[in-house]
Amino acid sequence: MILEPQRAAALFAERLATQTDASDVHAALASGEPGFVLLDARALDAWNQGHIPGARHLPHAEIPARAADLLDPAVPVVTYCWGPGCNGATRAALALSLLGYTAREMIGGVEYWAREGFPLRGADGDATRPADSLVAPVGSSCAC
């Protein structure tokens, strides 16, 4: 099925309005004033295994009961979970949206965060792996 250009453009614009990626989140966090709260929607064991520095932890199943205590409704939220094979970030963004929060999903999740060479914080501090050249440009920017 091929969509008419106007319908395709509307769908692409919608995706850009509701999704972001690890590189853009990293750049925003590095600026010191990202304009959003980063939310890890995984279970506690996953959070403890390693999470993005600066993220808050709120498993997606607990959002309806706990979001009001942890999040300011005036501040947008970016959610993440494990990776492309997991829909926890989508579930979290949906739950937040239903509660009236402005939410976006970080596509690729923590997997692509780590694969792009960005640090994860665990019990032993921050750890960084070299960027995976299959998913991130090495020594340059993809300029996307």
β-pairing, 120-122 vs 125-127, is: antiparallel
Rounded CA separation 112/115 (Å): 5
pLDDT for position 143: 61
Walk along the chain (144 residues) and give the pLDDT tens digit of each residue: 888 999 999 999 999 999 999 999 999 999 999 999 999 999 999 999 999 999 999 999 999 999 999 999 999 999 999 999 999 999 999 999 999 999 999 999 999 999 999 999 998 899 988 888 887 766 656 666
Task: Please count the other Cβ atoms lying within 10 Å of the Cβ belonging to residue 48.
Answer: 13
pLDDT for position 132: 84
With a CB cutoff of 8 Å and minimum separation 6, the contacts of 31 are none
Domain boundaries 18-127, CATH class: alpha beta
pLDDT for position 140: 57
- For the chain, the domains span 18-127
pLDDT single digits (tens) 5-21: 999 999 999 999 999 99
3-state secondary structure of 28: helix
Tell me how far CA of residue 122 lies from CA of 38, 45, 47, 50, 76, in angstroms.
17, 11, 8, 4, 25
pLDDT for position 141: 61
pLDDT for position 144: 66
Rounded CA separation 11/42 (Å): 28
The values of phi and psi at residue 104, to 5°, are: -135, 160
pLDDT single digits (tens) 120-136: 999 889 998 888 888 77
Q: Do 101 and 68 touch, CB atoms closer than 8 A?
A: no
